[in-house]
Structure 1
Amino acid sequence: MARVVCVHGMGQQVQGEDRLLSVWWPALSDGLRRAEAAEDLLSDSDVAVGFYGDLFRPAGQLLAAGDPPYTAGDVEAGFEQELLAAWWQAAAETDPAVVAPGADGTLVATPRSVQAALRALSGSKFFAGLALRAVVADLKQVRAYLTDQSTRDQARERVMAQIGPKTRVVVAHSLGSVVAYEALCALPGHGVRALVTIGSPLGIRNLVFDRLQPAPDPAGKQARGAWPGGDDLVWTNLAATGDVVALVKDLRSCFGERVRSGLLSNGVHAHDATSYLTDALCGKAIAEGLA
């Protein structure tokens, strides 16, 4: 079994384990180098990918981008519109080119506001070059995982199957951080020493945090999420400025002071997994889990 398990995020439905590993491994290796880790600390044969992206791929789909031809009208009321509004608000707070919600008279819960949100995000640095149908598809993937138990179980089982007795580090990106967190919580006694979450939406209360399994403990003034391992687990959460998916940059208010939080600068590729992996902070967190 792998010593390091990588868990991808949303929008990877036309990828696969080997394809993602070919992209993640060089970036992960560069991050270890930036952290001045020993050259022989890890090899590509020690790394595996917990892949679940195909669960979101329609059977027989032939479109080049791998997404159904979604339009603004396909953004469903409720969860999808609320998450889209949250992305819009976050993008407006970090990108001067994005008009803030309500600035043009639109409201977040109307069909017209969905069109306005998609239009505003299409001009943002964060979503630059991403087709509208891909943005809508990402919304639907997050909703499917958090609201459809069958999809959730299958995705979580894919990740759990990769975590074995020799696994010491789990690195999880975006939606994958939710899958990985829940997978570790469902594996009592696992030997993972380091959980490294990058570009994570875990701290978004109401939409994500409050829907976690196991459910957060409501005791006290603010609910707290379960700790995904033993006392020796070190959890490092890295968020980039401008990453609108990682709305809550510091997860300590949700999971306790033991979470180590770091803020990175990934440039225009704020949410890109490889941009996170090449950073020295990410490399150091992985190296410490392997040492």
Structure 2
Amino acid sequence: MRPRIVYVHGNGNKVRRELLKSQWDRALFGRDMGEGSAMAYWAPVRYDSPLPDFRADPLDGEPEWIEETPGLTAVESAEDFIEECLAEARQETPGPDGVPREGVAGPETAAALSGWLRDMTYLADTLAPAEEEDRLPEGGTDALPEVLPLPRPARKAVLRLLIKRTFKDVYGYFFGGVGAAMRTVVRETVADAGPGPLVVVGHSLGSIIAYEVLREQRRDVELFLTVGSPLGITEIKDCLEQRPAVPACVSAWCNASDLRDLVAMDHTLRGEYAPDHKVTDLLVSNDSGNHHGISEYLGHARVQEPVRRVFGPTAWGSRIA
């Protein structure tokens, strides 16, 4: 039996289902996969009508699209976003005397964030030569800086504001009462895939929805591929229905992210989702507007490699083969 692939899209409204599926197909395989792929299209749970055909995906981070898209807010850069979050955190967490708490959003925190952003950008710039040699920057994962080196209250404030102000569908999934409907869409799409080897791909919020559905599945999944996923973030893990673990139905889990992708934030799932031997974390370069775009992730050779092992090289279009 031929393998099939199920996609689960991320935050925000999207173009119509079949067009979105074809766009993901072409980014990953270089051609439309026809009945070999399916899109778990949960956008109608949140939006009355799809985006116009061939409109840019708002999650790619292009301000001209984001500004006109319900559910998304544009920020000029990671630095701008964090400064906005810190400003709001100062207002929300005053000390007993009404002055912002130094440990939450004071000068020391701002300096730590500045250094974190600088280190993340530097390490991201080393990815291209590191990928050519199939290794991480010198020092391996130990070289990665602390993600948001803040006191816990400030880190939670940044995450909460990121979700509430920029990714409203994530807020709706966990706190807005629509999570069950989103999971139903994914569950039904996986069930319709039929027998045979199955790959499930989740982007951003889609990786969370897919993960929670796969935790309850008995149908074997050859490969679970997550890109730009926030599943490593402690506060996200705290919101999951079950304790973090590799879904029992999954044979292999590949998780890819760009160091500059603020949605991913924590770039390693291995060690947090047992058993470790099933999880592979990949650091890749994503040069979309916010380093989170789906086409850039799916078009990366290291992301395509585990899918190629399931589908075989003949599944790829001439652009990739």
TM-score (norm 2): 0.60
Match of 1:191 in 2: 220
User: How far apart are 1:43 and its partner, in Å?
Assistant: 3.1
Work out whether 1:265 is the aligned partner of 2:290: no
- Asked whether the 8 Å contact 2:73–2:165 carries over to 1, the reply is no
Match of 1:161 in 2: 188
Work out whether 1:209 is the aligned partner of 2:227: no
User: How far apart are 1:282 and its partner, in Å?
Assistant: 1.3
Instruction: Identify which range, 17-26 or 196-205, moves more after superposition.
Output: 17-26
User: How far apart are 1:139 and its partner, in Å?
Assistant: 2.6
- In 1, the alpha carbon distance for the partners of 2:258 and 2:14 equals 26
Give the letter aligned to residue 68 of structure 2.
A
Work out whether 1:5 is the aligned partner of 2:6: yes
- Residue of structure 2 aligned with 1:54, choices 44, 53, 59: 44
The structure with the greater share of residues assigned to helix is 2
Structure 1 residues 109, 167: CA separation in 2 closer, same or farther (over 3 Å shift)? farther
- Asked whether the 8 Å contact 1:201–1:248 carries over to 2, the reply is yes
- Asked whether the 8 Å contact 1:174–1:199 carries over to 2, the reply is yes
Work out whether 1:151 is the aligned partner of 2:178: yes
Work out whether 1:43 is the aligned partner of 2:43: no
Give the total of aligned pairs: 225
User: How far apart are 1:246 and its partner, in Å?
Assistant: 0.6
Structure 1 residues 110, 54: CA separation in 2 closer, same or farther (over 3 Å shift)? farther
- Asked whether the 8 Å contact 1:195–1:236 carries over to 2, the reply is yes
- In 2, the alpha carbon distance for the partners of 1:186 and 1:109 equals 41
TM-score (norm 1): 0.66
- Asked whether the 8 Å contact 1:55–1:151 carries over to 2, the reply is yes
Give the letter aligned to residue 25 of structure 1.
D
Match of 1:228 in 2: 247
Work out whether 1:243 is the aligned partner of 2:243: no
- Asked whether the 8 Å contact 2:257–2:284 carries over to 1, the reply is yes
- Asked whether the 8 Å contact 2:256–2:281 carries over to 1, the reply is yes
Structure 1 residues 27, 158: CA separation in 2 closer, same or farther (over 3 Å shift)? same
Match of 1:277 in 2: 298
Deviations 1:194-216 (A, max 9, x none): 0000000111112x1111122x1
- In 2, the alpha carbon distance for the partners of 1:71 and 1:271 equals 14
- Residue of structure 1 aligned with 2:273, choices 244, 252, 255: 255
- Say which one has the larger Rg: 2
Structure 1 residues 276, 242: CA separation in 2 closer, same or farther (over 3 Å shift)? same
- Asked whether the 8 Å contact 1:199–1:238 carries over to 2, the reply is yes
- In 2, the alpha carbon distance for the partners of 1:71 and 1:247 equals 18
SS in 1 for 2:167: helix
Structure 1 residues 25, 137: CA separation in 2 closer, same or farther (over 3 Å shift)? farther
Structure 1 residues 16, 2: CA separation in 2 closer, same or farther (over 3 Å shift)? farther
- Residue of structure 1 aligned with 2:168, choices 131, 140, 149: 140
Structure 1 residues 102, 19: CA separation in 2 closer, same or farther (over 3 Å shift)? closer
User: How far apart are 1:59 and its partner, in Å?
Assistant: 7.9
Which stretches of structure 1, 4 residues or longer, exceed 4 Å deviation after superposition? 58-61, 135-138
Give the letter aligned to residue 250 of structure 1.
T
User: How far apart are 1:111 and its partner, in Å?
Assistant: 6.7
User: How far apart are 1:242 and its partner, in Å?
Assistant: 1.1
Structure 1 residues 43, 204: CA separation in 2 closer, same or farther (over 3 Å shift)? same
Match of 1:80 in 2: none
Identity %: 27
- In 1, the alpha carbon distance for the partners of 2:270 and 2:281 equals 8
- Residue of structure 2 aligned with 1:200, choices 210, 225, 229: 229
SS in 1 for 2:89: coil
- RMSD of aligned Cα (Å): 3.8
Structure 1 residues 27, 109: CA separation in 2 closer, same or farther (over 3 Å shift)? same
Match of 1:118 in 2: none
Match of 2:22 in 1: 22
Match of 1:176 in 2: 206
- In 1, the alpha carbon distance for the partners of 2:90 and 2:167 equals 15
- Residue of structure 2 aligned with 1:106, choices 87, 111, 114: 87
Give the letter aligned to residue 239 of structure 2.
R
Structure 1 residues 58, 138: CA separation in 2 closer, same or farther (over 3 Å shift)? farther
